[in-house]
Structure 1
């Protein structure tokens, strides 16, 4: 059986499911179905209670949530939980906020499953950058503002390599930083020192797509100050498209 096959009756199977950015109505139909069918649900901190409630009352619910500077369960242990539960013959759902393949470490978890010859499938989710900006009335691309968009992690890569700040600053892109609140001052300084005008509009979207969503807007030179007013989870957007928020906001 290949990784794209349906689960067999004798071996377990893992569905890697993106839960979307927060609003439970943004979960895909396929994600809804596999959560209902799961024997085991392994879920992260940002998955909403409404989505978790879709699981069977008989399903085993395993919380492995993470937040900045604190991992409830180390990544290696999460990988092992998925392997053990699948080898025991369960239908396992690995449930992550947003999309599992965009800064969600989903690829790492699937590599571990593949090494153990465990079958799996991927159910995409709406990533935070697309969902939160849509609910904030900020188009990621716009003919008059930006022809492309880049997603950047606010965390330094695990091998210590630096972000290509010069390349980011020289492009006419919308820049979206995930997990960047703590690094907002550094992001502000690097972008301005590499050529982005300090007057460039920016926004921080807090709790995007949720009822408590809040959008803070200002200039790039004010980014670190805005970040002191925001709480996680929050997304940083830099680019002239953010100036459209006040005109296009609807949520």
Structure 2
């Protein structure tokens, strides 16, 4: 009795899953493959007007899918299962679509995974790669911070050469609780510096006056007043009758 277009039900033809290992490129490693075959939605059990045997057809679909996957996997590296999986699904879709018996009757999906041995090697390689990247990033960060610290240090040392109080500023930054002692030491040193400078300039003035070098005396006086101002010492204004009052140096 001929029957036409009778839909396939999952009760008539259950989905089947295949799991097997197949050689990869070079035959040194294998892939772990899973193939899931399901009856196509809306498929028909009619073939040339006759009933087909469900068990025989299931075995036929399984064997065809397995052969296609095996052929494809032998062309791909055992460490690139994604490429083998993509081509396997593409090839199976094409083969089943053109097959005279299985056309439109089965939906097949292939999953290709690393074998246990290849997976272990892949994990070890990824760990080593991660270690290399981490160490490189750590060294790069260390060098970057050294460069930044170098710039900060250069700025600190440069300012220290321009300002005699720089060392007190550094000491105060390191020991903020000792602010009173740091300030006291600063004032004492400033007083000592001022006294030494005054003594030195006075000696120079005496020598210049004895030699009758008037311009050098004026310069020494101006240098003294300027130095005292830089030290933060209040300098009294020149008296109106001072011999330096009209000097161009103080204009």
Instruction: State whether TM-score is above 0.5.
Output: no
Greater strand fraction, Structure 1 or Structure 2: 1
Relative CO higher for 1 or 2, CA cutoff 8 Å, sep ≥ 6?
Answer: 1
TM-score scaled by length of structure 1: 0.20
Greater helix fraction, Structure 1 or Structure 2: 2
Indicate the structure (1 or 2) with the bigger Cα radius of gyration.
2
